[in-house]
Chains A and B, each alone.
Chain A
Amino acid sequence: MTLGQMPFVVSALLVVLGLYALLFKRNLIKMVIGVSIIETGVNLFLVTVGYRAGGQAPIYTYSDPSAVRVLPTPQALTLTSIVIGLATTALLLSFVVFIHRHYQTLDAEKIKELKG
């Protein structure tokens, strides 16, 4: 496995870690952290997709016109994804605050009013 493929491996590892935290942890805040880790893994994957070997940053006016530049489109996709991740995390955390206010606990096993 070459060095250039390591980011893909790390990204997959992050997604798996996040899924583990989401599915097997009982504390609600840990679940939110799991979702955040999955988002980070996906963002890392998107940025790595655009890499070109030996490339410079894709800023038109500050780089050598004949140099190889990395792709800018995946960076735009990643920015959008980060913004969406911010909004999602804020919403999830506000729901956790309200759940704590109602149930006085953050344990997912004890919050089971909706069953059946």
Chain B
Amino acid sequence: MNRGMSIIVRTATRLVYALILVFGFYVIMHGHLTPGGGFQGGAVVASGFALVLVALGTAGLKGVLNRHLLQSLEEVGALAFLGLAFAGVGTAFFYNLLANSGSIFGATDPSALASGGLLPLMNWAVGLKVMTGIASILIVMIIGARKEAVE
């Protein structure tokens, strides 16, 4: 279990980490209005995780990023995406059920946040899967490389 980099880097990381996460969630949430969306926002959040892994070392992992939790969240994201695709199966697969319908995500004004039907929900599902997936890949690679360096 290594302690990461110097104290300046560690302090700065602790300050900046939350901001990166907020920015990533902002990109996911506004995917249907501005450039961004599920994958892009998920990649930003995952880069925040990468910052924690590099700066705080594997000590920063404990209690925050648990491998089994990440895997379960990944499947939840994938199944949520597929479930939303099945939601409109009365008309066709992937039919946008809530668009322009006046209910929860169905505002007709195209610049409103709560518009776009199923798209923001799908953005969240994809964002969840991407952030947990890339975090899993990073953890496996870093821990695998450390184990090799020790042997």
Direct contact of A and B (CB under 8 A): yes
Min CB distance B29 to A, Å, is 16
CA of A85 to CA of B125, assembled, Å: 20
- Within 8 Å of chain A (Cβ to Cβ): is B137? yes
CA distance A59 to B2 in the complex (A): 46
Shortest Cβ gap from A24 to chain B (Å): 27
A111 within 8 A of B: no
Mark each residue of chain B from 79 to 121: 1 if its CB lies under 8 Å from any CB of chain A, else 0: 0000000000000000000000000000000110000000000
Q: Determine the chain B residues whose CB is within 8 A of the CB of A97 once the complex forms.
A: 141, 144-145
- Give the interface SS of chain B, mostly helix, strand, loop or mixed: helix
* Whole-angstrom distance between the Cβ of B81 and the nearest chain A Cβ: 14
Q: Which of B35, B134, B140, B145 contacts A59 (CB 8 A)?
A: B35
Cα A94 to Cα B141 in complex, Å, equals 7
B39→A83 contact, CB < 8 A: yes
| B137 partner, pick from A60, A82, A90, beta carbons under 8 A | A90
| Separation of A57 and B104 alpha carbons in the complex (Å) | 29
Residue of A nearest to B33 (CB): A61
Q: Are A93 and B35 in contact (CB under 8 A)?
A: no
Quote the shortest CB–CB distance from B139 to chain A (angstroms): 12
The complex places the Cα of A83 from the Cα of B140 at a distance, in Å, of 19
A86 to B134, CA, bound (A): 10
Bound-state Cα–Cα, A55 to B30, Å? 23
A66-87: CB near B (< 8 Å → 1, else 0) gives 0000000000000100110010
How far apart are A63's CB and chain B's nearest CB, in angstroms?
12
B6 at the interface (CB under 8 A from A): no
Chain A interface, DSSP helix/strand/loop, else mixed = helix
Q: 1/0 contact trace for A38-68 toward B, CB 8 Å?
A: 0000000000000000000101111000000
B33 touches A93 (CB 8 A): no
Q: Which of chain B's residues 30-54 have a Cβ closer than 8 Å to chain A?
A: 33-35, 39-40, 43
Contact A61 B137 (CB under 8 A): no
Q: A61-B33, A90-B137, A94-B141 are in contact. Are A79 and B39 (CB under 8 A)?
A: yes
- The reply to whether B148 and A101 form a contact with Cβ atoms under 8 Å apart is yes
Q: Mark B137-151, 1 if CB is under 8 A from A, else 0.
A: 100110011001000
- Shortest CB distance B44–A (Å): 13
Q: List 24 A-B contacts (CB under 8 A).
A: A57-B35, A59-B33, A59-B34, A59-B35, A60-B110, A61-B33, A61-B110, A61-B111, A62-B34, A79-B39, A79-B40, A82-B39, A83-B39, A86-B43, A86-B134, A90-B137, A93-B141, A94-B137, A94-B140, A94-B141, A97-B141, A97-B144, A97-B145, A101-B148
